[in-house]
């Protein structure tokens, strides 16, 4: 299926297409998918705030994700497989924000447990970076990861991010990883 065909089938704005995945802009109808991912205790094992408690929290988070795109021209994406573009399996992408007064991208990835172990997070992050970084030269990519979240830290390393050599952390005590 071509990108244009996928857009017609899903009714979504496609941000990037990789070998196996389709990344689309979030939209208001994604609240159930957001809650399925962000409300799952397993996907939030390392989230100090824990899983979302109800669909209202998912809608609030989703509203922020939707608003990022027209404001910044970049943001987090809903991720689906090319075989099932209508089924959201994860969220991944880059969010433009400030870290210690410097504009940076925050690299984010969270997937349903059924999608774990297949390399989807790395593939989605690479696709998101390939789409965004040429449009925003000079903006560094960072990832804010809790020290005990070893799976996420390993993925960040595979994507080319390294832990801050000075051991700096953000205001939530997460390790700062930066594109090497």
Average pLDDT (121-125) is 98
pLDDT tops 80 at residue 132: yes
Q: Are the C-beta atoms of 125 and 138 separated by less than 8 Å?
A: no
pLDDT tops 70 at residue 7: no
pLDDT tops 80 at residue 2: no
Residue of 73, 80, 30 whose CA lies nearest to 55 = 30
| Banded model confidence at residue 11, pLDDT cuts 50, 70, 90 | confident
pLDDT in tens, 140-161: 999 999 999 999 999 999 999 9
Residue of 144, 136, 148, 149 whose CA lies nearest to 163 = 144
Return d(Cα 55, Cα 61) in angstroms, integer. Answer: 10
pLDDT tops 80 at residue 8: no
Q: Which two tokens stand for residue 14?
A: 């496609």
């Amino acid at each position: 299926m071509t990108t244009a065909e996928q857009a017609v089938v899903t009714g979504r704005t496609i941000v990037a297409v990789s070998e196996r995945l389709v990344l689309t802009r979030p939209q208001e109808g994604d609240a159930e998918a957001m809650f399925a991912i962000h409300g799952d205790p397993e996907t939030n094992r390392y989230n100090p705030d824990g899983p979302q408690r109800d669909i209202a929290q998912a809608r609030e988070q989703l509203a922020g994700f939707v608003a990022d795109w027209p404001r910044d021209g970049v943001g987090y994406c809903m991720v689906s497989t090319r075989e099932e573009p209508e089924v959201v399996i994860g969220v991944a992408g880059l969010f433009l924000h400030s870290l210690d007064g410097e504009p940076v991208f925050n690299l984010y990835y969270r997937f349903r447990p059924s999608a774990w172990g297949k390399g989807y997070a790395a593939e989605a992050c690479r696709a998101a970076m390939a789409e965004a970084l040429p449009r925003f030269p000079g903006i560094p990519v960072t990832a804010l990861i809790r020290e005990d979240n070893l799976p996420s830290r390993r993925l960040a390393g595979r994507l080319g991010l390294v832990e801050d050599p000075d051991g700096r952390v953000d205001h939530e005590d997460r390790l700062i990883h930066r594109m090497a």
